[in-house]
Structure formats: C-alpha cells, structure tokens
Amino acid sequence: MRKIVEEDELVTILAALSSTPEGLSNAQLDRLLSNNSQWRTLSHVRELIALGFVQYHAQFFGDSGKYRLTDLGKAIGSRIQASH
C-alpha cells in the first residue's frame, strides 16, 4: 500500500474510480491524469488490476469498456483517502 500512496497517479486513479460507480474508460483515465502518455496510463491500470483493486468490464454494442473498483479496491481507496 505504501508504494501506491507514493505514486500520485495510482492514488488519482483510485480516487476517481471510487467517485464514479459506473467506472471510467481508458480515454477518461488518460484525460484525468493529463500525462499525455496512454502507455503509462495503461501500465498503472494493469498494476491495479494485478493487485486486485480494479476490474475491466467490457461494454457491448460499441461502447467503451470501463474500469471499476473491486471490493478490495474500495477498501484500499477509503484507507488511502483517510490517510491523506
């Protein structure tokens, strides 16, 4: 958890996903981070997926897929927000 707190972009992603129950797409996360680096955004999201904090939900009929917090991600997100 310390590594996540030290990485501002990971905290930003978790905070944004915790405030958006319907989830966020790749493009929305990239815009949120404003780092002009889609590969870096994808790398952060993959790290959060690997940790079990985030899940990807495919959308049907051409809509963008969305990333959403798992129960573990919600618990960690609330702990991180409480510590900030």
Cβ atoms within 10 Å of 77's Cβ, excluding its own: 21
- Where does the pLDDT of residue 32 fall: very low under 50, low under 70, confident under 90, or very high at 90 and above? very high
Per-residue pLDDT of 47-67, as tens digits, reads 999 999 999 999 888 788 999
**What is the reported pLDDT for 63?**
82
Share of the chain above pLDDT 70, in %: 93
Domains and CATH numbers, the chain: 2-83 (1.10.10.10)
- Read off the tokens for 57: 């939900």
pLDDT of residue 84: 63
User: Contact, 17 vs 79, CB < 8 A?
Assistant: no
Averaged over 12-41, what is the pLDDT? 90
- Rounded CA-CA distance 78/55 in Å is 17
Specify the pTM: 0.85
